[in-house]
Structure 1
């Protein structure tokens, strides 16, 4: 009878479960959510009617801080608190006709330094929004540690009258610990379509070894990148005017509108400044997009 050592047992278990600790390292997780509008007592209530998960991605119960007939708030949970080499996270969200959903996270997401094999991570998010439905995609910021390597993809598919308000905030390095982002490589991909027609396609590579990382014609040494988008505004030019009147003017943000997509960009060095900017922008845009004032998710206050 052969007896395996503890080390051999751990290695065999890791291999059998699909996990590796070499260049083939891989740990998959997925979360599939579906939301629908349900008639109840002469009103319409958005309910989470699909919630499937595998691995360390899940949600708890929905919240209704705006009333039972208001927006359905759901918090996306990733218990590890960050993404490491080999992680492959897939989030798939469908919002059916007439439903209104807000998705956010309880804390900042962390992108950890790549392992000794340089294995990259991957995060793929697919948001599908049906006619007359609204989705607010409002995750807290993402913090990339020095040496992180990975790819983040966000695909947003809207039907004819769907509406979406969302943002992504990325901070590079850990300035408070004097650990700048001087190595690694990140890639962000955005794709937004309406009825299958591309409206916004973007690819951004963040590489400290590339001249654009420090060049004034490119990133110019900025350590915080952030993009807010809004689709479905009745009067986008009026919304832009309101943004410029409501938000203090600085050299760190700008707003544009093309092909039905309003984009507000931040490029600077202060993560909190970007977060405050986007909250102020949401106060302006949400009433114009949904007819309801901007309610702060409770999880942001804990």
Structure 2
């Protein structure tokens, strides 16, 4: 198994900027409203009852919404598609998503298409919060959240931050990924002048157990360095967290073995790795093709899901359209 070149904990170069984005509430904008600025927020609460998992409450502002919950695998698991009609984030825009998964509820969240961070305006200074997407996910006892969005495209010249904070209990389960695509290599527009920060934090019973952060800037050259992305334009992280279901080291070792066997079957050893980091399984992709990454992650999800929640994986219908 070839190890990826992405560090498990990559420090960014601008701590002040990132501290500004450590939100207490995902529905509170981070910056004063600017001209042509869209501040979008969406808070969803899912509850479990005798009728299964239901979308109990929705609070929204701006162009961020969902239609309804779908139940392709029965009432116990609600599939929800996150809709953002602008399909992209420009300078000054902020998207805030909060999911509350109540006790024993099970939600699968995905998107109908790729998200986009467009080129930032030239009249913003480096310290300004230019383009921001933040997700806060709260899982109660025995709750399950599968967060499986399609890829995020970060265009040349963007100044973007994508932050995901997961708060779960020992009895809950989180399966989620992010897929980041830098620049547009096929149109000869590499990511040379842009800035992008990806931050993932996972808390179990209020204790921080996984912190993963990478900041790509022209100054630090992490896109090109061997200890960074080594000139790869697509990088992705798939988090498998099931503290109770995978409590024993032997259970995690067995699942890691199964995942690595699947990686070998896919002939993806040079692009994908899996590591047990303090009880959290972290799967990495480093390559050049988002479609390839999605194919790999989908196959690995089909292996990880039964081990964590004792259910076979069923692809969301929106992925077939």
The TM-score, its normalising length taken from structure 1, stands at: 0.88
Pair 1:153-2:169 in alignment: no
Partner of 1:35: 46
Give the distance between the partners of 1:188 and 1:117, measured in 2 at CA.
Answer: 23
Over residues 249-277 of structure 1, what are the superposed CA-to-partner deviations in whole Å (9 max), with x where a residue is unaligned? Answer: 42111110122210000111121111111
Aligned length: 277
Pair 1:237-2:256 in alignment: no
- Tell me if the contact between 1:94 and 1:128 (Cα under 8 Å) persists in the aligned partners: yes
Q: 1:280 aligns with which of 281, 285, 299?
A: 299
Partner of 1:105: 111
Partner of 2:21: none
Over residues 103-126 of structure 1, what are the superposed CA-to-partner deviations in whole Å (9 max), with x where a residue is unaligned? Answer: 000000011000121361111110
Give the distance between the partners of 1:144 and 1:212, measured in 2 at CA.
Answer: 15
Partner of 2:209: 199
- Using CA pairs under 8 Å that are at least 6 residues apart, name the structure with larger relative contact order, 1 or 2: 2
In structure 1, runs of 5+ residues without a counterpart are 1-16
Partner of 2:11: none
Structure holding more strand per residue: 1
CA RMSD of aligned residues (A): 1.4
Q: 1:183 aligns with which of 193, 212, 223?
A: 193
In structure 2, runs of 5+ residues without a counterpart are 1-31
Partner of 1:224: 234
Greater gyration radius: 1
Give the distance between the partners of 1:168 and 1:35, measured in 2 at CA.
Answer: 22
The CA deviation at 1:183 is 1.0
Q: How does 1:30-109 map to 2 (within 5 A)?
A: 30-40=41-51, 45-68=52-75, 70-109=76-115
The secondary structure found in structure 2 opposite 1:246 is helix
Give the distance between the partners of 2:253 and 2:208, measured in 1 at CA.
Answer: 21
Give the distance between the partners of 1:18 and 1:251, measured in 2 at CA.
Answer: 45
Give the distance between the partners of 2:221 and 2:213, measured in 1 at CA.
Answer: 17
Partner of 2:288: 269
The CA deviation at 1:18 is 4.2
Partner of 2:26: none
- Tell me if the contact between 1:252 and 1:267 (Cα under 8 Å) persists in the aligned partners: yes
The secondary structure found in structure 1 opposite 2:222 is helix
Give the distance between the partners of 2:302 and 2:45, measured in 1 at CA.
Answer: 26
Q: How does 1:207-218 map to 2 (within 5 A)?
A: 207-218=217-228
